[in-house]
Amino acid sequence: MVGCANVFDKHSKALDPCLHFKLHAASLSSHHQGSAGRRHVRVHKPRVLLNMATKKRIAAAASLLTFWRISEIQRRRAAARKRLYLRAIMLLLLSKQEKINVAPSSLLNRHVPVLRVYFEGVNDLSPHFRVSRRTMQRIMSVLREDKNNGWGYDLEILMFMFWLARAASYRVVAASFGVPRSTVHRIIQKVLKKVVRITARVIKLPGPDELAVIGEGFAELAQSREFQLAVGCIDGCHVRIKAPPTNEAPCYFNQKSFYSIQLQAVCNHKGMFVDIFVGYPGSVHDSRILRNSPIYTKSLYPPPGYFLLGDSEYPCLQEPIGILTPYKEPVQNPVQAQYNAEHSRAWSVIERAFGMMTSRWRGIFSKTLEVHYKCAPMVIAACTVLHNICIAEGDLIEVDTEYALHQQDQHLGEKDDIGSRIVARLSASIDIPPPISEHDYVF
């Protein structure tokens, strides 16, 4: 048995598994005959050798796995460096070519007919964008920012102006410019917010040194020196919207039998807006909108000693702001008739301002505005901002005769009687939220 154990000690690594099992069994049987220490060595020595071999194999496998991981990391880093080198080469090649201010990831197709009109230098852009080239360049300079990501200033503003001029759906704009429809929606909303943010820069109240010039302008319009203290005209305008899908829909249904949002505006003698207040439902009376507007609640304009010109829908006031309205019909004497004629000549500038704005953006104002009714005030405010930029650049447009006749029909036969005052008190009986604390122009 000892000889057998010696053979096991010398050649344990060369034995096959079956013989190893037999020798191990023989060692266990000798456990009952031999000493305890000797039996312990013969039993556990092969196990120790087997564990050592297993540990070596595990260590070798771990080393191989670590080497593979390091190689994979190095391969990925090399691929990333290769991509960076390729991108740098592409940017270098693109910088040597003529291109507009667009991101490299969104190259512009200049062969689109709408864009070809702009980039070929055509001076008259009104058939597509309703503004001249000079006005378009001014709009781009006002809206330009230091940082821009996306399709570039030119394309974004052109796309927004095309949508505003045509009042087209996002699908039509996407087909006209060759961009995805989702991109059109994102760009239009982005530029719309930019235009609304510059409202305070474009639509602002005149300073004290400008009041005398504005007064002289109104005196010339009225053909009477008595109107040299008039520094503005005030009026309201209904803009059609889709029926809101809420229980507030009846509040937007006006007395002319369509859903609308109201715009209250004050303009100077040139037809430029100096104050706007937009967002109230169509059923609210003009006088109630005035009483809730910041220009009235905060006595912003006109200053004491001056007055605004309003139609018969507004009250004749001296405080908190001065508003001068015509005599109600029929007049009592020739003096009142002469005053009404002079008042009408001066006040008609606000109708011409609305007429130019609605004729320029006829797609927005001549039919139902195809946007969400919560977004409609922003679109209306953007139209007033662009109207002021056009007037400042001398980009005038002929007033649509259909709109002028429509406005005359609306004001025909209006009287300041008890019925109209009751309507003013009871219009929009729901609680209207108070105006915002800042003069942000949009309700």
Q: pLDDT tens, 408-433?
A: 444 433 444 444 444 444 444 344 44
Is the pLDDT at 406 greater than 60? The verdict is: no
Share of the chain above pLDDT 70, in %: 72
pLDDT band at 405 (very low <50, low <70, confident <90, very high): very low
pLDDT at residue 435, rounded to an integer: 38
> For 248-291, what is each residue's pLDDT tens digit?
888 999 988 899 999 999 999 999 999 999 999 999 999 999 99
The pLDDT value recorded for residue 128 is 83
Query: What is the reported pLDDT for 110?
Result: 60
Burial profile 125-144: b = 16 or more Cβ within 10 angstroms, e = fewer: bbebbbbbbebbebbeebbe
pLDDT given at position 416: 43
Q: Is the pLDDT of residue 309 over 60?
A: yes
**pLDDT higher for 337 or 363?**
337
User: Once rounded to an integer, what is the mean pLDDT over residues 6-34?
Assistant: 45
Query: What is the pLDDT at residue 52?
Result: 67
